[in-house]
């Protein structure tokens, strides 16, 4: 797949500042259990910045993983914000509970993401980070309906990755085209992290 990114461009300063205090502990746990899909620091930094723009916000993460991206989002939240993070892996959710279970702002949900999306009846979100198949490659309309007008939708790994299985590049290209064709969002493709698409709901 031809990347939508611009690899010849570089950041003036590509150092990541203000990592969450808990981040290094989660990284150590990730190495301990051999977790092979840790989130990139750059998407974490972006998520923290975006979350901080929504005081008293409500946030959704689809795909908790081991909690690295979650740590950035929580670090950007104010005291009155709330975050739901959903994953279907009991080991990973337990690890996330160990790190975030005492934070009353965070709700960790162990379930199939598709079922959770289909059954959700709660209030709308200010930002959704979709880092799992449901909400990214499936159930898009349902997830977009959960966003407030002015709400932000974020996905990463849209530049071709070394671990992509055969045929996934074509799926990613189709997804990008579908997102570009939507009339109810403004969209930006970013040369950042592993390839970011950031969308703001307009109606």
| Domains and their CATH numbers in the chain | 38-201 (3.40.50.150)
- Position 162 scores a pLDDT of 84
CA distance 75 to 73: 5
What's the mean pLDDT when you consider all of the chain?
Answer: 91
pTM over 0.75: yes
The answer, yes or no, to whether residue 100 has pLDDT greater than 80, is yes
CA distance 27 to 162: 21
The answer, yes or no, to whether residue 18 has pLDDT greater than 80, is yes
Average pLDDT over residues 85-90: 97
The answer, yes or no, to whether residue 7 has pLDDT greater than 70, is no
101 vs 34, higher pLDDT:
101
The answer, yes or no, to whether residue 120 has pLDDT greater than 70, is yes
Which residue reads 């970013």 in tokens? 190
Check the CA dihedral 178-141-136-78 and report its sign.
positive
Average pLDDT over residues 56-81: 97
The answer, yes or no, to whether residue 66 has pLDDT greater than 80, is yes
- Position 161 scores a pLDDT of 83
Going by the DSSP 8-state scheme, the letter that residue 40 receives in this structure is P
The answer, yes or no, to whether residue 30 has pLDDT greater than 50, is yes
C-alpha distances (whole Å) from 137 to each of 97, 140, 143, 152, 185 are 27, 7, 11, 17, 17
- Position 193 scores a pLDDT of 87
Task: Place 35 in a pLDDT band, splitting at 50, 70 and 90.
Answer: confident
Q: What percent of the chain has pLDDT over 90?
A: 78
Q: For 91-97, which contacts have Cβ atoms below 8 Å and span 24 or more sequence positions?
A: 91/33, 92/35, 92/64, 92/65, 92/66, 92/67, 93/64, 95/26, 95/29, 95/33, 95/66, 95/67, 96/64, 96/66, 96/67, 96/70
56 vs 16, higher pLDDT:
56
Average pLDDT over residues 134-155: 98
């Amino acid at each position: 797949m031809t990347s939508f990114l611009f690899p010849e461009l570089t950041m003036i300063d590509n150092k990541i500042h203000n990592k969450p205090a808990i981040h290094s502990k989660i990284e150590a746990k990730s190495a301990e259990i051999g977790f092979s899909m840790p989130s990139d620091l750059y998407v974490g930094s972006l998520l923290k910045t975006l979350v901080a723009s929504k005081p008293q916000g409500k946030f959704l993460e689809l795909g908790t993983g081991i909690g690295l991206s979650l740590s950035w989002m929580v670090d950007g939240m104010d005291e009155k914000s709330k975050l739901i993070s959903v994953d279907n892996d009991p080991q990973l959710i337990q690890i996330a509970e160990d790190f975030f279970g005492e934070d009353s702002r965070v709700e960790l949900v162990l379930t199939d993401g598709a079922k959770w999306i289909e059954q959700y009846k709660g209030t709308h979100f200010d930002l959704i980070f979709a880092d799992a198949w449901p909400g990214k490659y499936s159930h898009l309309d349902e997830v977009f309906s959960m966003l407030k007008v002015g709400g932000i939708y974020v996905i990463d790994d849209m530049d071709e990755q070394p671990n992509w299985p055969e045929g996934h590049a074509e799926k990613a290209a189709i997804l990008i085209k579908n997102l570009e064709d939507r009339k109810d969002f403004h969209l930006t493709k970013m040369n950042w992290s592993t390839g970011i698409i950031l969308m703001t709901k307009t109606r």
